[in-house]
Amino acid sequence: MAHLIRRGSPMTRHQKHGYTNLVQRGRIHRSAYTDPDVFAVEMIRVFGGTWTYLGHESELPEPYDFKLTNLGLRPVILTRDGDGTIHGLFNRCSHRGVTVCPETSGNARRFVCSYHGWTYLSDGRLAAVPFASSCGPEFDQTELGLGRVSRIDTHRGFIFGVLAPEAPSLHDYLGPVAERIDEWVDRSPAGELVVRHRVRKIAADANWKLYVDGAADGIHPLFVHRSYLTMGAERDGEGLFLSEFASGLEESGMYSQTLPHGHQFLDQRPSLLPSKWAATRAMPGTEAAVEQLTARHGERVDEILEQTTVAGMNIFVFPNLSLVDNSIGVVQPRAVDRTEVHWHITSLADLDPVAVSLRMRIGEDFPNFGDTDDVEQWERAQRGLRDVPEVQWLRTTRGLGLDPEADDRGVSTVPITSEAPMRSYHTEWQRLMGLEPNWLGQD
């Protein structure tokens, strides 16, 4: 559908001002969600200008393991070479642009282009070119390896990549959110996560930022997930997971935080008392699993059960990493109005296999109901934004002028009814959209 553009509106001004005028105090322009030109720019400047999650080290346990991932729309082969070094290689032959790796994951020492047979090593170097003598005297094989994500770094097993040479270190980029990631990982007895289960994908005809808008939104569960809350109360009684959103929201003790660089945090743990396990709904096999774990571990069973159930933390690392309960969610934009979210239920290293199985079952509970609720709302929002050009702005004013200032680390703790986390990430998006992508055209 063609956009209706009014003279002098932000739709006509944003190209001149580098798109940064799309975010203003307490509001964001609809074109940030609906304009294909804005989408094309953010795929370069946001997913390229800042550290983006690519995968987890446990997905590449052995030398020469690989998996396919994305940096925005760029197809990337995430590899571990023979020395154990991790690389992010663009899945694009340096000769004619054909993708060189069709498999989603596996183990391979070489990647061979199906078009003309150019062969690349797991670190991206060009190893062989058929009929190389016909390429002429100016041909330099050493300069024609696969393009690569120029900077790769990790934190607690999470692999990130960035293209912008001026981007801060990963340590500085994460800042205080790293402590929240640490809390999430340290539920493991060994302090390590394992991500080796099949991915669960959801897809929505909606812009990727509609997911991010809800990452720390504490009001929407009461309305969007009402059927899940009602069903749970009728089947299992009151006081279980998410029921805290149905009553006494402002007295629950839950809170949100805005963090530097657009990161967000919502803490449900104050409402999950006396324990997270006590707030967990029974899943098929729960009773038998608890009996086995009690027989094996005796008094330690309560500690182990706490490790199987929900974390009670929603952590969002801008622009694409979501840590919710026991799962890693990866936001994958596909088009201005098409988004996938890839969910990986995690295991904990050194956790009893019975507890791991129970953790998997618990991890399937809410998504089977809540994901469809969320997708419906994202798609309704996308249709409204697309089809009503006369209303130009979305409001983000809850808490504006009421929330406390950030502390000296850039952290502001706010009620979960506030839209401060949304405004915070919009400001980071605005900053990145003003970047000049000086990493382009570097052959």
Q: What is the DSSP string of 132-156?
A: GGGG-TT--GGG-SPPB-SEEEEET
**Which of these, 74, 327, 321, 325, lies nearest to 173 by C-alpha position?**
321
Looking at the structure of the chain, the number of domains it has is 2
- 143 with 211, same domain: the answer is no
Angle of CA points 110, 115, 116, to nearest 5°: 75
* Residues forming beta bridges with residue 152, ordered by sequence position: 161
Residue 162 within a domain = no
User: Tens of pLDDT along 297-324?
Assistant: 999 999 999 999 888 999 999 999 999 9
Q: In whole angstroms, how large is the CA radius of gyration of the chain?
A: 23
129 inside domain: yes
Per-residue pLDDT tens over the stretch 419-442: 999 999 999 999 999 998 988 865
Same domain, 121 and 267: no
Burial 227-261 (b: 16+ CB within 10 A, else e): ebbeebeeeeeeebbbbbbbeebeebebbbbbbbb
Domain-located, residue 251: yes
Q: Kindly report, residue by residue over 29-65, the tens digit of the pLDDT.
A: 999 999 999 999 999 999 999 999 999 999 999 999 9
Contact 152, 62 (CB under 8 A): no
Sheet holding 110-112, edge to edge: 110-112, 119-121, 126-128
> What's the whole-number mean pLDDT along residues 1-10?
39
E strands within 297-382?
Answer: 313-317, 321-324, 327-335, 338-345, 347-348
Reduce the DSSP state of residue 158 to 3 states and report it: strand
The pair of structure tokens assigned to 38 is 């804005």
- Domain that includes residue 68, residue range: 53-155
User: How does the average pLDDT of the chain come out, rounded?
Assistant: 91
Q: How many CA atoms lie within 13 A of 289 on its CB side?
A: 21
Closest CA to 171 of 191, 152, 155: 155
pLDDT digits (tens, 9 = 90+) for 178-234: 999 999 999 998 999 999 778 999 999 999 999 999 998 888 888 888 888 787 777
Please check whether residues 82 and 195 belong to one and the same domain: no
Q: What is the pLDDT of residues 361-381, one digit of tens each?
A: 888 888 888 899 999 999 999
In-domain check, residue 25: no
Rounded CA gap, 29 and 44, in Å? 20
- Domain termination site, one of 155, 190, 205: 155
Does an H or E element contain 354, and which? Answer: helix 353-363
Does residue 128 fall inside a structural domain? yes
Q: Is 77 helix (H, G, I), strand (E, B) or coil?
A: strand
**Mean pLDDT, to the nearest integer, of 117-141?**
93
Higher pLDDT, 223 or 342: 342
CATH, residue 57: 2.102.10.10
Does residue 146 sit in the same domain as residue 58?
yes
Domain assignment of residue 371, yes or no: yes
